Chain A
């Protein structure tokens, strides 16, 4: 996930500061030098870093850090404030026209930035919100670009429009717009070819497309791993064709995401979403203030709650709470809970949004946990429906069958059954008091956080 290593670096620097009772000017300078290095290594724009460090320095000295009671805290606070200011405060929402009108989005960007995937992700997102999207293939140059969009559209059951690779993009856009009018689509998403911002001929083509159809949002997709070049790219696109918003893609790599900071601060273009993964559902809204918090290791609980609200089926959650409090928790419920946990991005995804977890998680093999979780799912899925609904049915011969069905050793099944029973017992003890949290997606979705083994070692579930 982007920003993590930056966050780690900064908290190490801050810890170094906090350890000191009094700070000399040298201490501050040294810390700022490290902050500078951390930002540069995160690909934050060079000029921006320079300004940032200068500003913090000025304030730090102005605020009489050296005579204050907790000098380190003061410095940290200044860095935090400046970082938040740099990121901006508000989230910019990608607003669409009313349902009765056609909104046109045009995806632009360099080659390989992730336009096609993001176009499909956007279509999927808005389809969920009851829009009627039409994905339009205007990349007539890259081999199989049309095919890629078509396959992605199919996966999401979204209508797809293409005129092959012999018709000019502006003509395709125009005809797609007419098609939308005729067939009642109200969200046109134009996928265009990747291009260099210095490729004049191709930039002209984008202008012609904008002239051909009323584009509401020109969306620049930028690879989060882009280096110092990010600002140049977004500035040129903005000056040449006008950009209304940016989507930062591939934020799930280990990039430090300095490009986000730079684009926002240097060009003022709002960042609309962060693309998080290869799956078509992974598109997160961007909240600058929350992101600043994440960078500084303060976590992002708000985003987690929102995600929970949008992904978790409240009725199901309430049902499982009801069952729990009566001690009727069975394997079906358990499976359902695991599915919900995975919808939220898995254990790793959740932990990363919690304050302070970033550092705490170092050295924990989360991939391994996810793997074990999959194995548990596998075992449960190898049970018959009767066994799932009624855990008491379990006996050695059934266990043997389940083990061979799931392709695991019988000891794994034994362990699961034992742990499940322990969990059931525990749930019964705690279950009664949980009901009142029913409306809260956390209380509801994760009774007792569902997984007693998550923190403790040895006891409870192996993940």
Chain B
């Protein structure tokens, strides 16, 4: 995960080196190689420089401390961000094709079931071939109901059915799988709006959570994905998938810093238990692990 980043950073901070322009340039390189966006990279470096000036320090190890605190401050997630885990909630899971939405949903269902919640899945991705079967299979593995219709049916109708079942069975959490949509396609985004309206009408009192799944291997485009989804829906958090890859997931820093969208969960593999709450402290510690 963040290993590569840490290797570079460790070299950077090794000696009692003075933090000169060259050092900051290397720092910038390291961050960009981890897919932190260029603008936020500049902003972070500026902030760190200013803080270093204010404190009157110029050794790389002192600058490291400042950077660490800064990142920790940026990335930390409050406990009340996870309120939906306690309430009666409707969780919509959105994201572009192939980021691991369905897999993340399966794992999230398991995570919540383990907490004693009664979970129902809604297969509202009626577009991609095999998507419904994939979610049903996850439902079987986790041992929760999955409400579904035929491929090509109306996603809003699936959501409607799922809400009826949710109420009838007095379940705690409904997780809705949506079609992986390329976020620059207007009509597909409108589908999201329709699903939201159904929920408003049928179960307005439910706690609403909308999670965007982002693939850790995605580069700068992750930012525009997050932005677009944020414009179209009340996004409340990010699931960072595929963090077991060698990608550094640095765009999570940009997304938190620029859009204020917190990473809530991290997916680290294909097994059912491979989804964890995002741990900012660990994330930053990993980056600086010696």
Chain A interfacial positions (CB closer than 8 Å to B)? 37, 40-43, 46, 110-114, 116, 141-152, 155, 196-198, 223, 225-230, 232-233, 250, 252-256, 258-259, 278, 367
Contact = CB atoms under 8 A, between A and B. Distances in A.
Contacts of A148: 128-131, 133-134
B218 interface: yes
B175 interface: no
Given A46-B33, A258-B219, A196 B246 contact: yes
Interface residues of B, number: 47
Cβ-closest 7 pairs across A and B: A227-B219, A148-B130, A112-B98, A143-B137, A151-B129, A43-B219, A144-B133
B29 interface: yes
A43 to B, nearest CB: 4
B244 to A, nearest CB: 7
Given A144-B136, A151-B130, A250-B182, 15 more contacts: A41-B37, A43-B220, A111-B100, A112-B98, A114-B97, A116-B130, A143-B141, A147-B129, A198-B246, A223-B218, A225-B218, A227-B221, A228-B248, A229-B248, A367-B187
Interface in B105-124: none
A256 B32 contact: no
What is the predominant secondary structure among interface residues of chain B facing chain A? loop
A112 B96 CA distance: 10
Contacts of A116: 130
Nearest to A194: B98
17 contacts: A43-B219, A46-B29, A111-B242, A112-B99, A112-B215, A144-B133, A144-B134, A145-B130, A147-B130, A147-B134, A148-B128, A225-B219, A227-B222, A227-B247, A227-B251, A259-B219, A278-B182
Contacts of B29: 46
Contacts of B130: 116, 144-151
Interface in B182-230: 182-187, 215, 217-222, 224
A148 B133 CA distance: 9
B281 to A, nearest CB: 24
A278 B247 CA distance: 26
A16 to B, nearest CB: 18
B98 A114 contact: yes
A41 B134 contact: no
Interface of B: 29, 32-35, 37-38, 96-100, 127-134, 136-138, 141, 151, 182-187, 215, 217-222, 224, 242, 244-248, 251, 270
Contact of A41 (B220, B247, B270): B220
A259 B141 CA distance: 36
Nearest to B218: A225
A110 B219 contact: no
Nearest to B245: A196
A250 B97 contact: yes
Contacts of B224: 254
B58 to A, nearest CB: 25
A232 B247 CA distance: 9
Nearest to B224: A254
B183 A223 contact: no
A143 B217 contact: no
Nearest to A2: B221
B221 A225 contact: yes
A384 to B, nearest CB: 29
A40 B250 CA distance: 14
B245 to A, nearest CB: 5
Contacts of B35: 43, 227-229
A256 B220 contact: yes
Contacts of B217: 110, 223, 226-227, 229, 233
B124 to A, nearest CB: 16
Contacts of A155: 129
Nearest to B184: A254
**Which of B99, B185, B218 has the most chain A CB within a 10 Å cutoff?**
B218
Given A41-B38, A254-B224, A226 B133 contact: no
A230 B245 CA distance: 12
Contacts of A113: 98
A189 B254 CA distance: 39
B270 A141 contact: yes
A366 B100 CA distance: 30
Nearest to A371: B187
Contacts of B34: 228
Nearest to B140: A143
